[in-house]
Amino acid sequence: MPQNPEKIQDHVELFHQPEYQQLFENKKQFENGHEAEEVQRVAEWTKGWDYREKNFAREALTVNPAKGCQPLGAIFAAVGFEGTLPFVQGSQGCVAYFRTHLTRHYKEPFSGVSSSMTEDAAVFGGLQNMIDGLANSYQLYKPKMIAVCTTCMAEVIGDDLQAFINNSKQAGSVPQDFPVPYAHTPSFVGSHITGYDNMMKGILSNLTAGHKKETSNGKINFIPGFDTYVGNNREIKRIASLFGFDYTILADNSDYLDSPNTGEFDMYPGGTKLEDAADSINAKATIALQAHSTPKTREYIEKEWHQPTSVSRPWGIKGTDEFLMKLSELSGIPIPEQLEIERGQAVDAMTDSHSWIHGKRFAIYGEPDLVYSVVGFMLEMGAEPVHILVHNSNEVFEAEIKELLASSPFGQHATVWPGKDLWHMRSLLFTEPVDFLVGNTYGKYLWRDTKIPLVRIGYPIMDRHHLHRYATIGYQGVINLLNWTVNTLFEEIDRNTNIPSKTDISYDLIR
């Protein structure tokens, strides 16, 4: 029968059709599930303190981790450089996951290849896969650089990337002078921010080799870290242009992850020029915009480049103030008047909305730098953190977040939960409820269970469109963070006051 494309239904409506509902009912006879009453009883039990104690006692099981694995961060770092193709030494399934995860967040095609390792490579090693894979990638996709990282399989069998790349070049897979930086990124340790750091160090050490000069080029380097808001790189470039100094972003993936639709496919849009990255060794200083996704890279720059580094997180008023003063100090240029005006606008916006956020209790989860930065902004608004969960935490982060909390009267009652996952967060929200939750898309399941409104900040955000295009740093970022937070609270107020003649006493037109 001919199909009518106008009658194609989205899955939101499709699976409510009678034939699908009957299919679901038929499945139950084969699933041997419990009766609905028993499911409901257990569900209610999981909301209490007794279950919370059992939940927090588990050690060998992770349920819904609040982190990604190393290669995800590695390929994210790689595409910030001009003409760079990420190459994963591992199976096709692994790289498909990484690409899909990023594509679903950005709604953009994310290119990356694998060496297609299978069972035979697991036994005999992946050298031949590397030789063939680099040759095919170089010939088919015409990159200017191929950045190689590993998956669990390659790490377990002990593939030596440096030796494999050298052997591949000797076999003629790519020219001898073609840049093939690499990073070992085992998924069973660390997280996506570790992989970002490993790859950034690998790329910079490869590109800058032999490029050290006697004099500085006078530039300032910026390392964004695992920052998934493309508006932030653009905000850094705008701020630097207002100051008027030269800079290099290591690396700028904003155009790659937010490319224009011109009708022609460009596999490598934008990115930091390779020659600029090579010359970054001669900059006067490097500023990392995240601490916990850059420790190895910063240590390398200080020891090998003999270049000073610092960390500035320009989130919120205080963070942005400190960042701009650092730029003024390094450049010798006063803070531009335009930025002073924008500061006043941000403070005015905070004044308009503070009464709706002040005193509100919130929970948050995410990677260390994001959590630190958002908590700092919320404290400026007078919000009170209760549960702070960072799955990929470390001792340095725990010390600095506790120092931040101690610096504000609104941070005195917060508890930091390092190494915990989102099933732990579920217990926390049921036993000690809060007014709102801050996190990525995976928090929507917590919202469904607990009815606590979710402010979507972080990575990945796959169920809402275009949030990644905004800036979260600088004074413009203050307004965006404020907008997402206060309007989420307003939506919740409207939801709870929208029944005519019952709850609509405060269903107000004006907030």
Active site residues: 152, 156
- Residue 164 falls in which region: left (phi positive, over 0), alpha (psi -120 to 50) or beta: alpha
CB 425 within 8 A of CB 387: yes
First to last CA, the chain: 54
Nearest of 241, 201, 202 to residue 220 by alpha carbon? 241
DSSP letter string over 219-281? -EEEE--S---HHHHHHHHHHHHHHT--EEETT--TTTSS----SS--SS-S-B-HHHHHHGG
- Maximum pairwise Cα distance, the chain: 80
CA 501 to chain centre: 44
CB 51 within 8 A of CB 174: no
User: For residue 251, is the peptide bond before it cis, meaning its omega torsion is within 30 degrees of 0?
Assistant: yes
Sheet holding 182-183, edge to edge: 113-114, 84-89, 145-150, 182-183
CB 386 within 8 A of CB 429: no
Number of other CB atoms surrounding residue 430 within 10 Å: 19
Structure tokens at 48: 């209490």
CB 256 within 8 A of CB 224: no
Q: Phi/psi at 447 (nearest 5 deg)?
A: -60, -45
